[in-house]
């Protein structure tokens, strides 16, 4: 039996971080040199992309700290009743668990926050690890349509009109 290998090597994570930091420094310098950085839509898009990249890098660090996943038995989700369906989780919401992005603040504050995160990511790695231990793949039930029998019984009764002649 093969020993379990880590999902991503520390060398690759270090290479990703090394490629990300000069880009972050360039973006911070541009934001500080501009007179009115809040008006630039392109700069806002770059900052959002930078925040997303920082989230992904911290997530990769958390995955590397967790090690290889334990072997699990695959479970088939239980059958649902009529009128319901199972939904799969949205991983965009999963990244909100790390709370890396500064939701309220100008661009320089947001870039400062990203710099602080990349300088000391341990707190955010711990948040992602807690969320991963709870489980990523939680499905939930969603109402899709009422059963057909109920829809038949809810039909409006016919209105009888009186003959007024």
Q: Is residue 75 part of a domain?
A: no
Q: Is residue 25 part of a domain?
A: yes
Nearest CA among 99, 132, 101 for reference residue 114: 101
Q: Is residue 18 scored above 80 in pLDDT?
A: yes
DSSP state of 109: H
Q: Is residue 14 part of a domain?
A: yes
- pLDDT per residue over 97-128, tens digit each? 677 888 788 888 888 889 998 899 999 888 88
Please state the pTM of the whole predicted model.
0.68
Q: How far is CA 4 from the centre of its chain?
A: 27
* Per-residue confidence (pLDDT) for residue 153, from 0 to 100: 56
Domain that holds residue 101: 10-69+93-137
CA-based radius of gyration for the chain? 26
Q: Is residue 32 part of a domain?
A: yes
Residues 68 and 4 sit within 8 Å (Cβ to Cβ): yes
Q: Is residue 157 part of a domain?
A: no
DSSP state of 37: G
Q: How many domains does the chain have?
A: 1
Secondary structure class of 138 (helix, strand, coil): coil
């Amino acid at each position: 039996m093969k020993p379990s290998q880590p999902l991503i090597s520390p060398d690759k994570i270090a290479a990703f971080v090394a490629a990300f930091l000069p880009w972050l420094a360039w973006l911070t310098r541009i934001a500080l040199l501009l007179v009115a950085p809040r008006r630039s839509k392109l700069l806002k898009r770059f900052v959002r992309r930078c925040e997303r990249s920082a989230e992904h890098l911290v997530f990769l660090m958390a995955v590397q700290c967790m090690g290889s996943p334990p072997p699990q038995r695959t479970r088939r989700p239980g059958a649902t009743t009529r009128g319901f369906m199972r939904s799969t989780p949205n991983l965009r919401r999963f990244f909100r668990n790390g709370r890396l992005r500064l939701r309220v603040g100008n661009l320089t504050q947001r870039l400062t926050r990203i710099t602080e995160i990349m300088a000391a990511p341990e707190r955010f790695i711990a948040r992602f690890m807690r969320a991963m231990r709870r489980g990523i793949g939680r499905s939930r039930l969603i109402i899709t349509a009422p059963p057909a029998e109920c829809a038949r019984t809810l039909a409006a009764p016919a209105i009888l009109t009186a003959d007024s002649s």
